[in-house]
Structure 1
Amino acid sequence: MPSRTGAALRAGAAAAALLLGVPATPAAAAAPGWSAAPAPGAGSAPDAAGRPYFYLEGRPGTVLKDKLSVTNEDKRAHTLRLRGQGAEGTWIAFSARTVKVPARTRADVPFTVTVQPDAAPGDRSGALVVTGGGHRSEVRMHLRISGATLSALSVEDVRVVRAGGGGGAAIRYAVVNRGNTALTPRLAVRADGLFGAVLRRDARTLPVQVPPGKRVRLTERWPDAPALDAVDVRLTVTARGGAHAVASAKYTAAPGWLLAAAAATALGAAGGGGAWLFRRRNRSRMASTESGARA
């Protein structure tokens, strides 16, 4: 039986912690008492090391089957709810949306994944979600839709703009996935000015994945862009499967004072030309008047 002195000391410590603004140590969250994993084979127990996620493969229009194991290690029964998650989560159908698992029991719940007839070949991902008793567990699912894959992309809307603040420029462009499989693009950049090369960047992998049919807008920083030059910028984008695209844009770089001087010169030339034209027309009118008077 704990002593009154020990209880008093603990109470005093808690009170001191509150006064000093130190939060009391929270109690550890209670374990859910159940777990979810892909169903094992041959009657063995679920083993996350051997089968950490679901892997299913099939052609468009096929129905794939598997089982989800829910193990209740608690001393009481648990009622759990099942659902799919992700873009392909709507393809998942369980034999029962709710399952009651008795104490010390494992339940294997069959489910199907119906691959849509118009689904494009390639890799997809999703998850099977189990919730109950205020807890949630996700079991990942990798789905490969077999069939002919097409890797194709395009580079669009390429333009070069002056960067604000620190100077330089920025190359803005869009990568569009024209195929039916997700692509991780690689980008190479080159730019040539009036007197030769001003930029060379070898191909590197971009930190983005472009799903089929999607457009991703990207920006390539160019801090040491020339301040005075006429430049042709060329982007080359590639990806696995032979995807390849090239696009280019022109960029005229000039300092602000030079642009202002050019504008002033142009305005001056236009004004001088207008004055000359006005004087010429005026002389023509006077000549016509004098000829009429003599007649």
Structure 2
Amino acid sequence: MPVLHTSAALGRLCSALLAAFLLSASTAVPVATADTRTAADARTAADARTAADESGWTAEPAPGAGGAPARPYFYLAGPAGTVLEDRLALTNTSDRERTVTLRGADAYNTADGALAVRPAAASGAGSWISFGAAATVKVPPRTRAVVPFTVTLPPSALPGEHPSAVVATADGQEAGVRVHLSVGGPTLAALTVEDVSVRGKGASAVVAYTLVNRGNVTLAPELALRAEGLLGEVPGRTAHALPVELLPGRRVSLTEPWPGAPVLDDVALTLTVTAPGAAPATATASARFVPWGIAGRTGAGLLGLGAVALAALLLVRGRRARSGPPADGEPVPAGNRAPEHELTGASR
């Protein structure tokens, strides 16, 4: 019965090809999500300071007593209910008088991790900063003016760091100087990593995630990425510092390049984020990578091969139908005839 065996084999081949094609077509890939950013009205202190310097004046912490080195920021600390003091230096490098307006401001992280100051009136730690009668200062040409200010810590101020800044405005330009302000008491370093997903594929793949500072001190996080595929470990990222200072209570959305992402694999990701004084935070995600260009060509080839196999199967069945079973009157070879018996009832 060779014809029947050939038909069954072709049927199994067609079924296998169809199942393979359907499996490749049903494979899912990660969906890219849009990257979110804050409104354009927030400007970083560094950008504002550069713009002010180009306009002919600068604002920076005044040098300390006794020839102390220059300070990039203000560093102030004390218990709740106390008053702290410091001084701001305004330098007019132009040949005309400058009128500078001074205020305290709240500092924060933008959604992508940059440091910024709020343009509106301060409602947090920035409101604790006061220049008194010196809130508006006239600075003569090529002159440096030193302006004192105070920081009044409310009795109800919570322990920990309170991000803020001093902002100077002149001729439509702003310069912000960061204030590292700390209220005495217990401190807590804690963070979590959330919302992990993969965007893109191959060498252009990135891992998107969210970091949340759940403590009361500023954190300098480090990140490591481990990946496990179906056939073993996939190249990830070793622990390295992230270019962000995560302020207390802030949430930032970041992306991490993943040049070692595979082209074809089903991968389990583990993100581990650490920071000094904080317990490690981990989060997991999965990503399935399918080279759709190859999958499309393979699917087309499978369909073509399936069509050929189906045509061959139909051709074999057609030949069987045309040939038909042997006719009833066809002679049978003598060697194959059954023995003949007489129907007389007599024994032989």
Distance 1:213 1:258, change over 3 A: same
Distance 1:193 1:155, change over 3 A: same
How many aligned positions are there? 227
Give the aligned residue type for 2:168: V
- The one of 200, 203, 207 equivalent to 2:239 is 203
In 1, Cα distance between the equivalents of 2:199 and 2:98? 61
**Contact (CA 8 Å) 1:190, 1:200: kept in 2 or not?**
yes
Q: Is 1:155 matched up with 2:193?
A: yes
What's the RMSD between the two structures over aligned residues?
4.6
Give 1:92's aligned residue.
129
Give the aligned residue type for 2:160: P
Q: Is 1:129 matched up with 2:168?
A: yes
Distance 1:232 1:112, change over 3 A: same
Give the aligned residue type for 1:57: A
Q: TM-score, normalised by structure 2?
A: 0.50
**Contact (CA 8 Å) 2:212, 2:250: kept in 1 or not?**
yes
**Contact (CA 8 Å) 1:85, 1:129: kept in 2 or not?**
no
Give 1:172's aligned residue.
208
Structure 1 position 114, deviation (Å) = 1.8
Give the aligned residue type for 2:131: F
Unaligned runs of 5+ in 2: 1-53, 108-124, 307-348
Residue deviations 1:43-67 (CA, integer Å, cap 9, x gap): x9xx674777643211234322345
Distance 1:223 1:135, change over 3 A: closer
Higher normalized contact order (CA 8 Å, seq sep 6+, divided by chain length): 2
Give the aligned residue type for 2:75: Y
**Contact (CA 8 Å) 1:54, 1:142: kept in 2 or not?**
yes
Q: Is 1:63 matched up with 2:83?
A: yes
- The one of 242, 250, 254 equivalent to 1:218 is 254
In 1, Cα distance between the equivalents of 2:262 and 2:59? 61
**Contact (CA 8 Å) 1:188, 1:236: kept in 2 or not?**
yes
In 1, Cα distance between the equivalents of 2:152 and 2:234? 54
Structure having the larger proportion of residues in strand? 1
Structure 1 position 239, deviation (Å) = 0.7
Distance 1:139 1:48, change over 3 A: farther
1:9-48 matched pairs, under 5 angstroms: 38=62
Percent identity between matched residues is 48
Distance 1:251 1:142, change over 3 A: closer
Structure 1 position 183, deviation (Å) = 1.3
Distance 1:81 1:204, change over 3 A: closer
Q: Report the secondary structure of 1:210's partner residue.
A: coil
Structure 1 position 111, deviation (Å) = 3.2
**Contact (CA 8 Å) 1:38, 1:139: kept in 2 or not?**
no
Give 1:83's aligned residue.
103
Q: TM-score, normalised by structure 1?
A: 0.58
Structure 1 position 112, deviation (Å) = 2.1
**Contact (CA 8 Å) 2:101, 2:137: kept in 1 or not?**
yes
Structure 1 position 85, deviation (Å) = 4.3
Give 1:190's aligned residue.
226
**Contact (CA 8 Å) 1:37, 1:48: kept in 2 or not?**
no
Q: Report the secondary structure of 1:236's partner residue.
A: strand
Q: Report the secondary structure of 2:127's partner residue.
A: helix
**Contact (CA 8 Å) 2:62, 2:70: kept in 1 or not?**
no
In 1, Cα distance between the equivalents of 2:145 and 2:288? 69
